[in-house]
Structure 1
Amino acid sequence: MKNTIINKIVLSFFLFCQIGFAQVDVVYSDLVWSDEFNTDGAINSNNWFHQTQLPAGGSWFNGEVQHYTDQLTNSFVNAGTLNIVAKKEPYTNQGITKQYTSARLNSKFAFKYGRVDIRAKIPKNLGTWPALWMLGKNINEDGAFFDSNFGTTSWPNCGEIDILEHGITQSQPDNYIQSALHTPSSFGNTINIGGVVVGNNIADNYHIYSVNWSPFQISFLLDGVVFYTYNPDVKTPNNWPFNEEQYLLLNVALGGVAGIVPSNYTQSSMLIDYVRVYQNTIVDAEPPLNFTASVGAVTSTSVELLLNATDNSGTIGYNIAYGTSTNGISGTSGIQKSVIISGLNPNTLYNFTVTASDLSGNSAANNPIVVGATTLPNSTLFCSGTSSLAQDGSFSTGYNYEFQTNGNDVKITYGLLDTDKVGVVAFLWKQSPFSELQMTNVSGNIFTRTITGLTIGSTINYGVKFAFAGGMSVTNYYSYVVGSACMMGTSQFSELNGISFPNPVSDIVNINSNITLDKIEIYSLLGNLVLKTETNISSIDVSSLSTGVYLITIYSGTEKITKKIIVQ
């Protein structure tokens, strides 16, 4: 059994190295705490604590209707698997009778920074709310394991990291999971959320749900692939309370936000194969070397800083201070890091104080480096407008757009005007050849991205995908002449917009069109071409594709249109 466990850990770690490490900012590789659930019976009391004390008032938060118990029927280990069982049964405790029971486990281990992997099957029964999550060790919550010795901070000031939640997003497709961050600046119905539809049924198949938490960002992964990253440009206690130890919670709630529990409900189980926490434990006494900081591209509203250093750990932490703002980011040893400081005032001198350190806190000997730059005067070489036109999805109000030339660069800014969308992120879409680039959030729902090294007089074509909780909407492509004030056109492609096809699909995409089509291409969301046909243009066979979301591009003459398609 022991050799089997070691082999499982080595294999999963190897797979994560191949898939996930390249996507996170800091790689954590040393297993520091785990529970493999190899002993049948009660849970390991050295690792876990049953949180059963009711909050003041006698009901759990969010309108939940269950008692959390330490009964063996609600949490136990069997055949190498932890079972957390939510059941319909009358149960009286603390003088209160409820009709449902479940279990809420606190880990007796807390840590700051690292990666958590949890391999689990997640119940999908209506009215259930299974969750894998974390809270600050300093939370003042009566009945929690760490409260009596460390509970000094109220929620959400302690910070909450939800690795996985299911059951509270009924409007989403089947097998949709959500991750979220709760901070003083956004809590409860937080806007800090990401989600993904899992290809294989989450109730019948094990998946690895992970969070990678560094001093710079928090990334959520499904089976080793990042699907959401939280990384405020400027971190404050209001949006980043994640600099203290946190502990793990595993539970299945019932009712409340998850909806009414059906009358025929009997029980459901969350099965957990293992819980593993990784950190980097090797003592590092070597400081970063060869630290340099200089100014790159400057516009009227932004300054690019070019940072570099080397360190034996492989990761450099840079801290940038200017005025009352600070910005912490990570970089790779020996590779120049470009940082765009945006939202600046035109024709203004800014001094940036930059320091470099490694993850052990060792500082570069030449800290700090102070670099100055004066932003350019306001440029008149820009075009802007407001629209509600969409090539995919729709806009309830619309969006603003602006293209601004600075030298050989064009700064593209889009602002979403819709107020009914939360958790908004934006991606810049290049029309041809298609590519997708994440945009930087300036403030609110305003996003920007600068395209560099362009030729004055050339024409560029870009649109923006706004992704948000519950879906996405994509603007039309807009054509802009670099260096112009102002020449723009809207790539509406009225005839191509009339094309339709079933969505979602499973085998064959049948195209309904009144015009002649020349070619169909299907791309992954990373921009990789996965299918193409130039014959029998009325359809394309997608049965070879894995379940997921793709982009389908349809060509007619010199025009084309790109839309989202879901393959089941």
Structure 2
Amino acid sequence: MVWVEDFEDAQPRADRWNFELGNGCPNLCGWGNNELQIYTDHNHTIKDGFLTITAKKEDSLYTSTRITTKDKFKFQYGRVEVRAKLPVGAGVWPAFWLLGSNIDEVGWPLCGEIDVVEYVGREPDMVFNSLHTQSSHGNTINTKKTRIDDIEEGSHVYEANWTPEKIEFSVDGNLLYTYAPEVKTQKTWPFDQPFYMIVNLAIGGNFGGPEIDDAIFPQEFLIDYIKVYQVGDKH
């Protein structure tokens, strides 16, 4: 285990995490997906070893939190896992995902994206695993939607095992999807470089959906831990 975050401090550690604030404007309004939330640095708490991100409807505004390890922690290959409990209800879109650390140089999607877990409240009991590359992005074909009954109940472990040959996605130790293109080019396999991590809870947007049930708020996305293992791991 080369990195672990078990949220034992009162706030996300400044040497590990950045808060991304606002609505993405002017460079990426709606965070590139027509999302409706405004990210703040106070829609979260840490208590009893859990980071809780709370999405709220405040007057006419939706607020939430998004944190990243950009420029503070990145890794290339290994197994990353997050233990988390999902929010529920039409409009929520929680995610734990990775972006290529060269995004500022080459842009998205050439930098690559690994979605370890995505969930949208409009499709209960479904877990999404996706890869975004230059060859397939946005409504990517490199994706798998898996029904897991009552996935919203309790916490579950979401995992990506990333090697030079393939990326495997699992939930609670059960393999769901493998991405292993036969021909690896920059367009199909930007995954030969370091990536950083993102945790967020979005509202609405292209994937979260246009229908938002305001009666569900506030909703909480609970993260117990994040761990990264690399070669030499005996776990």
Which residue is equivalent to 1:183? 133
Q: What secondary structure sits across from 2:215 in the alignment?
A: coil
After superposing the two structures, state which structure 1 stretch, 57-66 or 246-255, moved more: 57-66
Once residues 47 and 228 of structure 1 are traced to their aligned partners in structure 2, the CA distance between those partners, rounded to angstroms, is 29
Give TM-score scaled by structure 2 length: 0.91
**Alpha-carbon displacement from aligned partner over 1:357-392 (angstroms, at most 9, x marks no partner):** xxxxxxxxxxxxxxxxxxxxxxxxxxxxxxxxxxxx
Q: What secondary structure sits across from 1:60 in the alignment?
A: helix
Which residue is equivalent to 1:544? none
Q: Which amino acid aligns with 1:47?
A: R
Once residues 40 and 228 of structure 2 are traced to their aligned partners in structure 1, the CA distance between those partners, rounded to angstroms, is 26
Structure 1 residue runs of 5 or longer lacking an equivalent are 1-30, 91-97, 140-150, 283-568
**Alpha-carbon displacement from aligned partner over 1:61-115 (angstroms, at most 9, x marks no partner):** 21111111111xx12211111101111115xxxxxxx601101110231000010
Q: What secondary structure sits across from 1:187 in the alignment?
A: coil
Which residue is equivalent to 1:197? 147
Which residue is equivalent to 2:8? 38
Q: Does 1:101 align with 2:63?
A: yes
Once residues 172 and 90 of structure 2 are traced to their aligned partners in structure 1, the CA distance between those partners, rounded to angstroms, is 25
Q: CA deviation at 1:203?
A: 2.6
CA contact (8 A) 1:75 1:83 kept: yes
Q: Does 1:162 align with 2:132?
A: no
CA contact (8 A) 1:43 1:75 kept: no
Q: Which has the larger radius of gyration?
A: 1
Once residues 213 and 199 of structure 2 are traced to their aligned partners in structure 1, the CA distance between those partners, rounded to angstroms, is 23
CA contact (8 A) 1:88 1:101 kept: yes
Once residues 55 and 243 of structure 1 are traced to their aligned partners in structure 2, the CA distance between those partners, rounded to angstroms, is 30
Which residue is equivalent to 1:130? 94
Of residues 31, 34, 38, the one that matches 1:63 is: 34
Q: CA deviation at 1:271?
A: 0.5
Once residues 30 and 135 of structure 2 are traced to their aligned partners in structure 1, the CA distance between those partners, rounded to angstroms, is 26
Q: What secondary structure sits across from 1:264 in the alignment?
A: helix
Q: What secondary structure sits across from 2:33 in the alignment?
A: helix
Which residue is equivalent to 1:88? 57
Higher RCO structure (Cα 8 Å, ≥6 apart): 2
Q: CA deviation at 1:281?
A: 5.5
CA contact (8 A) 2:21 2:41 kept: yes
Q: CA deviation at 1:195?
A: 2.5
Once residues 248 and 223 of structure 1 are traced to their aligned partners in structure 2, the CA distance between those partners, rounded to angstroms, is 20
**Alpha-carbon displacement from aligned partner over 1:13-35 (angstroms, at most 9, x marks no partner):** xxxxxxxxxxxxxxxxxx00011
Once residues 117 and 177 of structure 2 are traced to their aligned partners in structure 1, the CA distance between those partners, rounded to angstroms, is 12
Once residues 140 and 88 of structure 2 are traced to their aligned partners in structure 1, the CA distance between those partners, rounded to angstroms, is 22
The aligned runs of 1:116-515 (5 Å cut-off) are 116-139=80-103, 151-167=104-120, 170=122, 174-199=124-149, 201-257=150-206, 258-259=208-209, 260-280=211-231
Which residue is equivalent to 1:47? 16
Q: CA deviation at 1:244?
A: 1.0
Structure 2 residue runs of 5 or longer lacking an equivalent are none
Once residues 264 and 224 of structure 1 are traced to their aligned partners in structure 2, the CA distance between those partners, rounded to angstroms, is 34
Q: What secondary structure sits across from 1:118 in the alignment?
A: strand
Which residue is equivalent to 1:468? none
Q: CA deviation at 1:231?
A: 0.4
Q: CA deviation at 1:154?
A: 0.7
Once residues 266 and 176 of structure 1 are traced to their aligned partners in structure 2, the CA distance between those partners, rounded to angstroms, is 20
Q: Which amino acid aligns with 1:223?
A: D
CA contact (8 A) 2:89 2:213 kept: no
Tell me the C-alpha RMSD between the 2 structures.
1.7
Q: CA deviation at 1:266?
A: 2.2
The percent identity for this pair of structures is 41
Q: What secondary structure sits across from 1:59 in the alignment?
A: helix
Give TM-score scaled by structure 1 length: 0.39
CA contact (8 A) 1:124 1:166 kept: no
Once residues 55 and 137 of structure 1 are traced to their aligned partners in structure 2, the CA distance between those partners, rounded to angstroms, is 21
CA distance change for structure 1 residues 102 and 239 in 2, over 3 Å: closer, same or farther? Answer: same
Across the two proteins, how many residue pairs are aligned to each other? Answer: 227
